[in-house]
Amino acid sequence: MKLSVPDYILSIKPYTPGKPLEELEREYGIVDSIKLASNENPLGPSPMAVKAIKNAIGKLNRYPDGSGHDFIQKISEHLGVSPKNVVLGNGSDEIIGMLACGLLQPGDEAILPHPSFLMYEITVRSAGATPVFVPLKLLSIDLQAIKNRITSRTRMVFLCNPNNPTGAVVYKKDFENFLKKIPPDVIVVVDEAYIEFVRDQNCAKSVEYLDNVRPLVTLRTFSKVYGLAGLRIGYGVMPDKIANLLNRIRLPFNTNSLAQAGACAALEDTVFFEKVITLIHQGLDFLYDSLDRLGVKYFPTQTNFILIDVCKDADEIYERMLRQGVIVRSMRSYGYPDYIRINAGLHEENVRFIKALEKSLK
C-alpha cells in the first residue's frame, strides 16, 4: 500500500504506554503481581463515583450530554471560574491535542521542557509545528532558559507542574515573573495532572492566574487522585476566547455518560479524596525512609510518583523486578537510562517493592 504521509507525521515516535497487568502476567508467567508503573490511584475510584456510574448504566442507549453541562458546572463551582472558561476533554490529553490542532500550524514552534510528558511532542509534531526542547535544570523546569528560547515563531509553551517524570514544581514567584516577561501572544499551557498531591505551599497553581486576557491554559485530569483513569475524562481552564475556539473542533460526545457521572460524584467525595492524599503521602515517606536505608538515591517529589537512580541499566532492573511480580517503569525513553519511576501504592505494595528492589540490585 502506498500512502502519501507528511514528513512531520512520520517524524513522530509513537507513545508506548505500560502494558496492562494481565498481559504482563500472561507474558511472563507470573501471578499476584503489583503495578506501580503508571502513576495510578492504588485505592481505585471513589465509592460515590462507582455508585453514580452504576446508576447511569441504565441510560447507555442515550447519547451523553455533548456539552457536559453538569460536569462543567461542577468544575466551575469547584475552582471558582466561569463555565465559559472550561472545556471538556477525553482526558487532558485530548485538550492538548485540540490546542495543537487549533492553534499550531507548520512553521510554528512550541517550547517543551525536556524530559517531560511525552504527549506534548507528539501533538506538536502532529500539527506540523516544531518542538523546541529546553533541558531541565537540576531536574526542574528552567523558566529562564525557556524564556531565552522564545522567538517570533514561538506560539506555545508547555509546562508540566509538577513535572512528569521528576516530580519537581514551578514556584509561584518564578511563575509570576515568567508570565510578565514573555510576549503576550505566546500561549502558556500548564499541565497540572498531579497538582492535588503537592505538599509545598509555594507551588504555583496556574488556574489562579486566569484573567481572560493572558493566553494561559490549565489542564487537569480525573485519572490520578480521583482514580478514574479507565474512563478518560479531564478538562482545561482557559480564557473564553480560547475555549470558544477549542469547542469549534471538539468532537461531539467526546466524553461518555459514565465518565461524566463518575467525575461529578468524585468531586463531591471529599472523604475519599483526603483518604487518597493521606495514603500517598504516607507511602512516599515510607519509600524515602526505605531507600535511605538501602543507600539508593531518589528525588523528593510533589506528585504520587518517585524517580529513583538505581545506578544500573534501568531496563535490566525492570526485568528483574518484573520476574518478582513488581511492575515499575524504566525511564530510558525519557533520557534517564539508569532511573526507574514508581508510584506510591498500598502499604503492602510499597513493602513488596522495596524487597524486590533490594534483591534486584544485588
**Is residue 1 situated within a structural domain?**
no
Closest by Cα among 37, 98, 54, 100 to 234: 98
| 23 in the same domain as 54 | no
| 79 in the same domain as 37 | no
| 293 in the same domain as 255 | no
Domain around 101: 47-268
| 30 in the same domain as 80 | no
Domain boundary, last residue among 243, 268, 293: 268
Domain count of the chain? 2
| 157 in the same domain as 230 | yes
| 254 in the same domain as 354 | no
Q: Looking at residue 306, what DSSP letter applies?
A: E
Find the CATH number of the domain harbouring 174: 3.40.640.10
**Is residue 146 situated within a structural domain?**
yes
Domain boundary, last residue among 234, 268, 302: 268
* Residue 193 contacts residue 233 (beta carbons within 8 Å): no
Give the distance from CA 343 to its chain's centroid. 13
Q: Where are the beta strands (DSSP E) in the chain?
A: 34-35, 86-89, 109-114, 130-135, 154-160, 187-191, 216-221, 234-237, 297-299, 305-309, 326-327, 329-330, 339-343
Domain boundary, last residue among 268, 288, 311: 268
| 277 in the same domain as 136 | no
| pLDDT tens digit at each of 362 positions of the chain | 878 888 888 888 887 776 777 887 788 787 889 999 999 999 999 999 999 999 999 999 999 999 999 999 999 999 999 999 999 999 999 999 999 999 999 999 999 999 999 999 999 999 999 999 999 999 999 999 999 999 999 999 999 999 999 999 999 999 999 999 999 999 999 999 999 999 999 999 999 999 988 999 999 999 999 999 999 999 999 999 999 999 999 999 999 999 999 999 999 999 999 999 999 999 999 999 999 999 999 999 999 999 999 999 999 999 999 999 999 999 998 999 999 999 999 999 999 999 999 999 98
